[in-house]
């Protein structure tokens, strides 16, 4: 292990630092990764993972804030000493208003317990309050107190926001949890694409280096044959051109490899300089894809199903809000308690008197030039449009699942064909190369075999990419692990 770690340093010392950074990196042991390992890393440390985790955290605290609206709220409020020294309009005993010089300080403290009522949209409360007033003109001080007060405030015929929140917010929160699971699977889909980008770049470099070596050998043999007069100059020039092209392909393949490696590392969250060597996923799932099961699980697990319900409810809420804000509005307020006034704090609580307050306020629009009707019609039209859109989305939802299942089965069969084609093309090229070396075929036939071999290898890798992308896409669309026959559950909340 020590020798492996010191090998790059020894090479630099022996060759006088002549190696480039890329060549030095190639001497490092590679980090060998399979597709599932890369996906697991992306689901644990990628930038996309941290983004969806932050979103999930914000939705969790929004849910907690919603729940708090239906729980008792204990509130302490007050005014610091409010000092006033000025002329003020004071009402006299006969009802007249006269300016009068005032010089006083006012402070208060109130403790209240409030409870919202979701069913009616009202609120009940209990409170206690103490107020102190200092009159510096008369050099007096007195206290006002309300030792115990209970009451309620109930809107009548108004839009009840608490009622609609209680129907919509649980759906929104459940939707966010399923969205988190879907985004995790979407990370798998994106990572799969980047995995095969790098895998194809690695295989392309391997192909380019083999072709470079083969063309170099064939060109040298061709030079010997040309010197013996066994081939024409035109064929030798074709061999030289093929060698130059293979050198160019190798340079481009190295650049593509560096670019693909950087993209994958950035997506997965790898920050070290260690080389990455990917292992092609040769084991293909053998389970049968049941479209009925896929559609059933998608309906149970996907956030879209909940989103459709939420959108319809939000449309109904908007209609109710438009009606409530454009018709008769009334508010009933009632309060019962004790109150007292004294010059000292003990006396202000000694003999409190009863106090009752009942108040009914209302607002009736008389002439609004059609504004209320326009608001109601707009909300109703938007609601009808939402229902139509949701109905079409539900149809598209089922079609997407059905199409993806059929495509998955087709890609599995296509993968078998391209794997066999790759094997046949490689054997054909090996035979063609040996026949060319013994002079049985010309350079044109050899180049055709070479092109077919390279194309078959890339087609096989592309088929692998399409198959596994389809597999993880199906997982995202259904939130179901077909290999393990279990839903992709979201981890429990804190």
Residues 220 and 217: their CA atoms lie apart, in Å, by: 5
Residue among 482, 491, 82 at smallest CA distance from 293: 482
What global pTM score does this model have? 0.78
Domains in the chain, CATH or no CATH each: 16-62+167-310+386-487 (1.20.1600.10), 74-117+122-159+331-364 (no CATH)
Which tens digits make up the pLDDT trace of 313-346?
999 999 988 888 777 788 888 888 888 888 888 8
DSSP per-residue letters across 18-66: -S-HHHHHHTSPPEEE-HHHHHHHHHHHSHHHHHHHHHHHHHHHHHHHH
Distances (CA, A) of 217 to 112, 196, 222, 434: 92, 31, 9, 12
Share the mean pLDDT of the chain.
Answer: 84
DSSP H helical ranges for 269-302? 291-301
Q: Is the pLDDT of residue 21 over 50?
A: no
Q: Is the pLDDT of residue 22 over 70?
A: no
Average pLDDT over residues 94-120: 84
Q: Are 376 and 322 in contact (CB under 8 A)?
A: yes
Give the model's confidence band at 28: pLDDT under 50 very low, under 70 low, under 90 confident, else very high: low
Q: Are 418 and 410 in contact (CB under 8 A)?
A: no
Give the model's confidence band at 446: pLDDT under 50 very low, under 70 low, under 90 confident, else very high: confident
Which tens digits make up the pLDDT trace of 229-276?
888 888 889 888 989 998 999 999 999 999 999 999 998 888 877 788
pLDDT value at residue 222: 85
Which tens digits make up the pLDDT trace of 169-216?
999 999 999 999 999 999 999 999 999 999 999 999 998 998 889 889
């Amino acid at each position: 292990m020590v020798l492996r770690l010191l090998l790059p340093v020894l090479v630099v010392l022996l060759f006088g630092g002549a190696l480039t950074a890329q060549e030095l990196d190639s001497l490092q042991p590679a980090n060998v990764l399979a597709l599932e390992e890369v996906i697991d890393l992306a689901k644990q440390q990628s930038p996309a993972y941290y983004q969806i985790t932050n979103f999930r955290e914000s939705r969790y605290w929004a849910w907690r804030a919603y729940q708090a609206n239906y729980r008792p709220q204990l509130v302490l409020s007050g005014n610091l000493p409010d000092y006033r020294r000025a002329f003020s309009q004071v009402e006299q005993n006969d009802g007249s208003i006269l300016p009068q010089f005032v010089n006083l300080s006012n402070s208060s403290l109130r403790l209240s317990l409030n409870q919202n009522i979701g069913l009616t949209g009202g609120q009940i409360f209990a409170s206690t309050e103490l107020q102190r007033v200092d009159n510096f003109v008369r050099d007096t001080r007195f206290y006002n107190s309300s030792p115990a007060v209970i009451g309620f405030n109930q809107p009548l015929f108004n839009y009840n926001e608490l009622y609609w929140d209680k129907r919509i917010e649980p759906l929104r929160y459940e939707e966010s949890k399923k969205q988190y699971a879907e985004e995790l699977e979407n990370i798998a889909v994106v990572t799969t694409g980047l995995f095969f980008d790098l895998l194809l770049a690695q295989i392309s470099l391997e192909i380019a280096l083999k072709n470079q070596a083969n063309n170099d050998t064939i060109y040298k043999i061709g030079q010997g044959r040309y010197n013996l007069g066994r081939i024409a100059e035109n064929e030798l020039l074709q061999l030289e051109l093929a060698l130059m092209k293979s050198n160019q392909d190798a340079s481009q393949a190295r650049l593509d490899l560096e670019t693909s490696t950087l993209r994958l590392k950035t997506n997965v969250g790898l920050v070290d300089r260690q080389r990455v060597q990917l292992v092609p996923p040769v084991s293909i799932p053998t389970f049968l894809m049941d479209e009925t099961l896929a559609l059933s699980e998608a309906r149970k697990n996907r956030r879209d199903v909940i989103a459709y319900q939420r959108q319809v409810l939000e449309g109904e809420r908007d209609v109710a809000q438009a009606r409530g804000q454009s018709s008769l509005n009334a508010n009933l307020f009632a309060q019962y308690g004790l109150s007292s006034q004294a010059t000292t704090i003990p006396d202000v609580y000694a003999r409190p008197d009863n106090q009752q307050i009942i108040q009914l306020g209302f607002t009736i629009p008389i002439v609004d030039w059609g504004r209320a009707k326009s608001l109601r019609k707009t909300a109703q039209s938007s609601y009808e449009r939402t229902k139509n859109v949701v109905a079409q989305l539900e149809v598209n939802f089922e079609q997407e699942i059905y199409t993806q299942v059929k495509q998955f089965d087709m890609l599995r069969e296509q993968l078998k064909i391209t794997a066999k084609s790759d094997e046949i093309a490689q054997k054909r090229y090996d035979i063609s190369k040996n026949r060319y070396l013994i002079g049985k075929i010309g350079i044109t036939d050899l180049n055709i075999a070479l092109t077919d071999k390279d194309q078959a290898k890339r087609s096989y890798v592309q088929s692998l990419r399409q198959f596994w992308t389809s597999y993880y896409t199906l997982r995202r669309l259904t939130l179901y692990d077909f290999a393990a026959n279990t839903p992709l559950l979201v981890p429990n909340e804190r």
